[in-house]
C-alpha cells in the first residue's frame, strides 16, 4: 500500500504546489496590508453583516481568524471536493480506475492509499500557506502591536486541517456512493455551503440553533481565540470522527461497487444474486 | 487435478435489467490460447471483467487457477496480465514513467525492466507523454503493460485494436511466444483472421450467451459449400429441405443452397430434377461465424 500511497502523492504533486502557492495569496495580501488598514478595521468590529457571516475584524487576531482561518480551510475544502470525488468516481468515469483495480491489491488498500494521499496533500497545502503566513507575519511584525507569535499563527492554521480533511473524506465517500462524479461533487459542494452559512446564521438566528451541531463549520473556531489558543480539542475530535466515519463508509461502498458500471448502490444491489427475473 | 486455468459455471451478469452475459460456461486449458469471439456488445468485455474481479457476477461462478474470482481476486491478479478493452491511461505521464509505476505497483515477476524490451519491439517511444500518443501508440502501452510481468495468464481484450498491420503481427507473435512459454492466453477479438492465426480453441459469444466452443480446426472442418443448381424447369419448393442444408434463394430455374452436411443427398435430390449445371464455392471462416452471429437463423445450427 505504501507504494500506491507514494504514487498517489506523486499524482498530486502539481496540485499541492499549485493550490499551496495559489492560497498564499491570502497571507501575502490580507496579512501584508493589515498594518495599513488596522485602524479602519477596528471601526468595523460591530457590523451586523460581518457578525452574520461569522466574521469579526476588530483586532489582528480577529482579522487573521476571519480571513485566514476561515477562508483558507474553506478553499482547501474545494480542493478536497475536487480531488476527493475525482479520485474514485472521476477515475472510474474516465476509465483509469480499471487499470488500478486490476493490480494485485485489495480494494480497501486502494481506497486507503487514496484517502491517505488526499489527507496528506491537504496538510501539505495547509503547511505551505502556514509557512507563508508566518513569513509575512515576521516581515510586518515590527509594525504591529500584538502578542501573537509566528509559531502560534502557523499552528493555528495547521489546526484547521480537520475541516478540509472531513470534507475530503465525505467527498471520497460520495464518490464511492454516487453513480457519477458530478453528482458527488455537487452534493459535497452543497453540504459545504450549507454548513458554512448554516453555522454562521445559527449564531444569529435562534431558529437554526438546534441544527448548529450538524454544521461542520461549527467545529472550527475562527475567532481571535482560535488564532491565539488554537482549536478546541473536542471540535477537532468531532471533525476527525466525521472524517473517519466517511472514510469507513467509502471503504464499504467501494468494496461493493461494480466498477465501470457507475450505478447507484440500490442498482448495484439489484445486479446481485437472485435479482434477475 | 484439473488442468484448466479458467473455469466458469453459469456465469451471469446483469446490469439492472440489461443483459451482460447469461449462463456462460467455459473452460480454458493451461498453456492454450483461447479465442473469445463475438460482435460488439456480445459480452466479451463483461466476461473478462468478471475474471479479473472488476465486476461480480449476478450469479454463477468464475475461477482462475482454481481461485474464486470474487473472494481471491488479489491472489489471482498477481498471476494475470490484463489489457482492458477500453484502455485509459494517465495522459500526463511519460510512457516510461507509467511502466516504472506499473512495475513498481504490481511487481516485475522476476523480469525487471522487461517493458523496455517490449517497447522496443513494438517501436514505442517511451520518452513521450501518453497524451501525445496516437490511439495505436496508446494501445501499444496497454499491450506492454499486459505482457511486462510475464504473467501466467494473459487476458487481452481486443489487443490489436488500433494497431497497424505490422504491429498487429508482432502482437500475435508475442501471443504465440507466451503460449510457447507454457502461459495461457484469453484473447478476445472480433477479427477472425487473428483468432485463426493464434488460437487453439474458440468460444463464440452472441447476445451474452456462449453459443459454441470449438477447436479452431473443428471450426474449419465445418467449412460450408455454397451451391447454385440450374435446372431445365423449376424444382418443387421442398426438394432440398434436408438437415444441414439451407435454401438461400431461388431463381426461375435455379436454386441457391448453403450445404453444411448431406452433400450426397443434395446431389441425389438435384439429379431427380434434371439438373443442367452446378456451381459451387467454399464459404470462408467469416461466413461460418456470421452464421453463429446471425439472429435470424438461430445462429447455433452452424
Q: How far is B53 from chain A (nearest CA, A)?
A: 7
Q: Length of chain A, please?
A: 277
Are the Cβ atoms of A96 and B87 closer than 8 angstroms? no
Residues in B closer than 8 angstroms to A3, CB to CB, are 104-105
Q: Which residue has the higher pLDDT, A260 or B219?
A: B219
- At B16, the pLDDT band (50, 70, 90 cuts) reads confident
CATH 3.30.70 in chain B, residues?
Answer: 224-283
Mean pLDDT is lowest, of A190-199, B222-231, B261-270, B276-285, for B276-285
**How far apart (Å, rounded) are the C-alpha atoms in residues A198 and A215?**
6
- pLDDT value at position B136? 93
- Chain A interface mutation, best of B44, B46, B50, B55, highest count of A Cβ atoms under 10 Å: B55
Top residue of A2, A86, A102 to mutate, by most chain B CBs within 10 Å, is A102
Q: Edge-to-edge, what's the strand order for the sheet holding B184-189?
A: B80-83, B153-157, B184-189, B33-37, B201-206, B209-215
Q: Which of B16, B104, B107 to mutate to test the interface with A (most CBs of A within 10 A)?
A: B16
B17 to chain A: closest CA residue: A276
Scanning A74-113 for CB atoms below 8 A from B yields: 94-96, 98-99, 101-106
Q: Which 8-state DSSP code applies to residue A30?
A: I
Instruction: Report whether B13 contacts B21 (CB < 8 A).
Output: yes
Distance CA B105, CA B74 (A): 13
Which CA distances in Å does B154 have to A173, B43, B64, B181, B234? 33, 18, 11, 12, 56
Helix A233-256 to helix A162-177 angle (10° resolution) is 20
Contact of B104 with chain A, judged by CB distance below 8 Å, is answered with yes
Which of B73, B97, B103 to mutate: most A Cβ within 10 Å? B73
**Closest chain A residue to B102 measured between Cα atoms?**
A103
Distance CA B135, CA A8 (A): 26
| B90 shares contact with chain A (CB less than 8 Å) | yes
Q: Phi/psi at A33 (nearest 5 deg)?
A: -90, -10
Between A105, A263, A272, which is nearest B74 by CB? A105
B-chain residues near A99 (CB < 8 A):
84, 87-89, 102, 145
State the pLDDT confidence band at A52, using cuts at 50, 70 and 90: low
Residue B107's Cβ-count burial label (10 Å; 0-12, 13-18, 19+) is middle
pLDDT at A242: 97
Provide the grid cell at B250. 431461388
Mean pLDDT computed over B87-113:
85
Distance of alpha carbon A241 from alpha carbon A176, whole angstroms: 19
Widest pairwise Cα distance in chain A: 77
Contact call for residues B255 and B247 (beta carbons, < 8 A): yes
Residue B58 contacts A where some CB pair is shorter than 8 Å: yes
Distance of residue A114 Cα from the nearest chain B Cα, in angstroms: 14
- The yes-or-no verdict on residue A263 having pLDDT over 70 is no
Of A253, A90, A268, A276, which Cα lies nearest the Cα of B55?
A268
C-alpha cell at A5: 500511497
pLDDT band at B212 (very low <50, low <70, confident <90, very high): confident
Tell me the pLDDT tens digit for each residue of A9-19. 988 999 999 99
Cα separation, B148 vs A214, whole angstroms: 51
CATH for B224-283 is 3.30.70
Contact across the interface for B55 and A260, Cβ inside 8 Å: yes
CA distance A263 to A177: 9
- Give, in order, the Cα–Cα distances in Å from B19 to each of B10, B51, B62: 14, 17, 18
Rg (C-alpha) for chain A, rounded Å, is 21
Q: Which residues of B touch A102 (CB under 8 A)?
A: 52-54, 77, 80, 82, 84
Cβ-defined contact of A274 to B56 (cutoff 8 Å) = no
Pinpoint the residues of chain B covered by CATH 3.40.50.300.
Answer: 4-217
Q: Which residues contact B70 (CB under 8 A, 6 or more apart)?
A: B53, B56, B57, B62
Joined grid coordinates for residue B35:
479465442
The confidence score (pLDDT) of residue B49 equals 92
Residues B199/B33, Cβ–Cβ less than 8 Å: yes
Q: Does residue B254 register a pLDDT over 70?
A: yes
Give A273's pLDDT tier (boundaries 50, 70, 90): very low
Mutation target to probe the B interface, by most B beta carbons within 10 A, among A90, A104, A113 is A104
- Number of CB atoms found within 10 A of residue B27's CB: 17
Q: Which long-range contacts (CB under 8 A, 24 or more apart) does A233-240 make?
A: A235/A162, A236/A159, A236/A162, A239/A162, A239/A163, A239/A165, A239/A166, A240/A162, A240/A165, A240/A166
- Distance, in angstroms, between B6 CA and closest chain A CA? 17
- The predicted pLDDT at position B180 comes to 95
Q: Does the pLDDT at position A217 exceed 50?
A: yes
**Among chain A residues, CA nearest to B90:** A96
Question: Under an 8 A CB cutoff, do B90 and A96 touch?
Answer: yes
**A260 with B49: Cβ contact below 8 A:** yes
The string of pLDDT tens digits covering residues A222-256 is 888 888 888 899 999 999 999 999 999 999 988 87
At residue A266, the pLDDT reads 62
Residue B281 has a pLDDT of 72
Q: What is the CATH number of domain B4-217?
A: 3.40.50.300
Residues A55-93 pLDDT 10s: 666 788 888 888 889 889 999 999 999 999 988 888 888
Asked whether the beta carbons of B172 and B197 are under 8 A apart, the reply is yes
Helix ranges restricted to H, B22-151: 44-51, 73-77, 95-106, 114-121, 135-147
CB-CB under 8 Å, A104 with B86: no
* pLDDT tier at B126, thresholds 50, 70, 90: very high
| Predicted confidence band of residue A2 (pLDDT cuts 50, 70, 90) | confident
Question: Is the ipTM beyond the 0.90 threshold?
Answer: no
Domain borders along chain A are 2-269
Highest mean pLDDT among A95-104, B154-163, B288-297: B154-163
Query: Measured between alpha carbons, how far is A30 from A126 in angstroms, rounded to an integer?
Result: 16
Only one residue has cell 459542494, namely A189
Of the candidates A95, A273, A275, which has its C-beta nearest B86's C-beta? A95
Tell me which residues of chain A, numbers 224 to 263, contact chain B at a CB-CB cutoff of 8 Å: 258-261, 263
Grid coordinates representing A196 are 458554512
Weakest-pLDDT range from A112-116, B172-176, B283-287? B283-287
Looking at residues A17-42, what average pLDDT do you find? 86
What is the pLDDT at residue B285? 60
Calculate what percentage of chain B has a pLDDT beyond 70.
90
pLDDT for res A225: 86
The predicted structure's pLDDT at residue A54: 60
Measured between beta carbons, which residues in chain A are less than 8 angstroms from residue B14?
271, 275-276
What's the pLDDT band for A185 if we cut at 50, 70, 90? very high
Task: Pick the residue from chain A with its C-alpha nearest to B101.
Answer: A7
Q: Dig out the grid coordinates for B289 from the structure.
A: 461465424
Please check whether residue A87 is in contact with residue A118, taking contact to mean a CB–CB distance below 8 angstroms. Answer: yes
pLDDT at A212 over 90: no
Does the structure show a pLDDT above 80 at B58? Answer: yes
Instruction: Check pLDDT > 90 for residue A160.
Output: yes
In the predicted model, what is the mean pLDDT of residues B194-209? 88
B138 φ, ψ (degrees, to nearest 5): -65, -40
- Quick one: what percent of chain A has pLDDT higher than 90? 44
Mean predicted lDDT score pLDDT of chain B: 86
Amino acid at each position: 500500500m505504501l507504494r500506491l500511497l507514494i504514487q498517489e502523492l506523486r499524482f498530486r504533486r502539481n496540485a499541492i504546489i499549485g493550490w499551496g502557492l495559489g492560497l498564499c495569496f491570502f497571507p501575502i495580501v490580507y496579512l501584508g496590508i493589515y498594518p495599513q488598514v488596522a485602524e479602519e478595521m477596528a471601526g468595523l468590529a460591530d457590523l451586523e453583516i460581518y457578525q452574520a457571516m461569522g466574521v469579526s475584524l476588530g483586532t489582528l487576531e480577529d482579522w487573521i481568524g476571519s480571513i485566514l482561518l476561515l477562508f483558507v480551510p474553506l478553499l482547501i475544502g474545494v480542493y478536497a471536493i475536487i480531488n476527493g470525488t475525482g479520485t474514485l468516481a472521476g477515475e472510474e468515469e474516465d476509465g483509469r480506475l480499471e487499470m488500478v483495480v486490476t493490480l494485485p491489491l485489495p480494494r480497501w488498500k486502494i481506497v486507503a492509499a487514496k484517502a491517505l494521499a488526499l489527507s496528506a496533500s491537504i496538510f501539505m497545502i495547509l503547511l505551505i500557506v502556514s509557512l507563508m503566513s508566518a513569513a509575512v507575519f515576521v516581515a510586518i511584525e515590527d509594525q504591529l502591536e500584538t502578542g501573537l507569535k509566528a509559531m502560534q499563527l502557523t499552528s493555528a492554521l495547521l489546526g484547521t486541517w480537520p475541516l478540509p480533511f472531513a470534507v475530503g473524506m465525505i467527498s471520497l465517500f460520495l464518490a464511492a456512493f454516487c453513480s457519477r462524479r458530478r453528482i458527488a461533487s455537487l452534493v459535497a459542494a452543497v453540504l459545504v455551503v450549507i454548513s458554512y452559512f448554516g453555522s454562521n446564521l445559527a449564531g444569529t438566528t435562534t431558529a437554526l440553533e438546534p441544527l448548529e451541531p450538524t454544521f461542520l463549520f461549527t467545529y472550527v473556531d475562527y475567532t481571535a481565540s482560535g488564532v491565539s489558543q488554537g482549536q478546541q480539542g473536542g471540535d477537532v475530535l468531532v471533525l476527525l470522527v466525521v472524517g473517519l466515519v466517511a472514510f469507513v463508509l467509502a471503504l464499504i461502498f467501494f468494496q461493493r461497487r461494480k466498477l465501470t458500471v457507475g450505478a447507484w448502490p440500490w442498482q448495484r444491489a439489484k445486479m446481485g444474486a437472485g435479482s434477475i427475473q | 487435478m484439473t488442468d484448466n486455468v479458467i473455469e466458469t459455471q453459469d456465469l451471469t451478469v446483469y446490469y439492472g435489467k440489461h443483459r451482460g452475459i447469461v449462463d456462460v460456461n467455459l473452460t480454458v486449458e493451461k498453456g492454450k490460447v483461447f479465442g473469445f469471439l463475438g460482435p460488439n456488445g456480445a459480452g466479451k468485455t463483461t466476461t473478462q471483467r468478471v475474471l479479473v474481479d472488476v465486476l461480480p457476477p449476478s450469479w454463477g461462478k468464475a475461477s482462475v487457477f482454481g481461485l474464486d474470482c470474487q473472494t481471491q481476486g488479489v491472489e489471482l491478479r498477481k498471476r494475470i496480465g490484463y489489457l482492458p478493452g477500453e484502455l485509459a491511461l494517465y495522459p500526463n505521464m511519460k510512457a516510461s514513467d507509467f511502466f516504472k509505476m506499473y512495475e513498481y505497483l504490481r511487481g516485475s515477476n522476476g523480469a525487471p525492466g522487461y517493458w523496455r524490451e517490449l517497447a522496443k519491439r513494438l517501436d514505442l517511444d517511451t520518452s513521450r507523454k501518453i497524451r501525445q500518443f496516437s490511439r495505436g501508440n496508446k494501445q501499444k502501452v496497454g499491450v506492454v503493460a499486459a505482457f511486462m510481468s510475464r504473467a501466467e495468464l494473459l487476458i487481452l481484450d481486443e489487443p490489436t485494436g488500433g494497431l497497424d498491420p505490422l504491429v498487429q503481427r508482432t502482437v500475435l507473435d508475442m501471443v504465440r511466444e507466451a503460449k510457447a512459454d507454457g502461459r495461457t492466453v484469453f484473447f478476445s477479438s472480433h477479427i477472425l483472421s487473428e483468432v485463426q492465426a493464434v488460437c487453439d480453441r474458440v468460444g463464440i459469444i452472441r447476445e451474452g450467451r456462449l453459443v459454441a466452443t470449438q477447436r479452431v480446426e473443428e471450426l474449419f472442418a465445418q467449412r460450408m459449400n455454397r451451391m447454385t443448381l440450374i435446372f431445365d424447369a423449376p424444382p418443387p419448393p421442398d426438394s432440398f429441405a434436408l438437415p444441414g442444408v439451407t435454401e438461400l434463394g431461388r431463381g426461375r430455374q435455379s436454386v441457391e443452397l448453403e450445404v453444411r452436411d448431406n452433400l450426397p443427398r443434395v446431389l441425389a435430390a438435384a439429379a431427380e430434377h434434371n439438373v443442367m449445371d452446378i456451381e459451387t464455392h467454399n464459404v470462408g471462416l467469416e461466413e461460418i461465424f456470421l452464421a453463429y452471429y446471425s439472429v435470424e437463423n438461430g445462429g447455433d445450427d452452424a
